[in-house]
Structure 1
C-alpha cells in the first residue's frame, strides 16, 4: 500500500482515496460508534439513577411528614396520659379522704 519515503511506488490517487475512505470507515465503526453507544448507555443510566434519586427524595419527604405526624400524635397522647394520671390521683385522694372520715366517725 503506502510506504513513507518510497515515491517511485506511490499508489494512484483513487486508490489512496479508497484506502483513506476505508480507514475512516473502520475508525468510525470501531471507535466512534462504540463511543456513541457508551454515551447512550451512560445517558440511560443517568436517567435511571436520576429517577431513582427523585423517588427516594419523595419517599424521604413522605417519611419526614409521617415522622412529624407521629411526634405530634405522641405529644397529644403524652398530654392525655398526664391528664388521666392527674385525674386518677385526684380521685384516689378524694376516695382516701372520704374513707378516713368514715373510719373516724365509726370509731366514736
Structure 2
C-alpha cells in the first residue's frame, strides 16, 4: 500500500496554535491543551512552532487571548465532552501559562 505525503505532528500542532492565536475558540484551547498533556510538547515548543509557521505570532497577544478562556461558559465546551473538572484543570493550566508569558514579556521589555 502506498501512502502519499502526510503531515508531521509538528505541523499539526503548529496549525492548532495558529487557530488558537487567530480565533481562540473552545475547541482550540482543548486541542492545544491535549498536545501539552500528552507530554509530547512543551509550552515553549508550541510557541516556537507557532512562531516558525506564523510571522505574526506574538507571545504577548497569545497571553491576552488566554484571558478569553475564563469568559467562555462551561456549556461551550460540553459539545466536545469536557466536564467541569476537566475544564477547571484546563483553565488552571492556561492561567499558569498566561502568567508565564506575561512574566517573560515583562522581563524582555
| TM-score over 0.5 (shorter chain) | no
Which structure has more relative contact order (CA 8 Å, sep 6+)? It is 2
Structure (1/2) with the larger helix percentage: 1
Give the alignment's TM-score, normalised by structure 1.
0.25
Give the alignment's TM-score, normalised by structure 2.
0.25
Question: Max radius of gyration: which structure?
Answer: 1
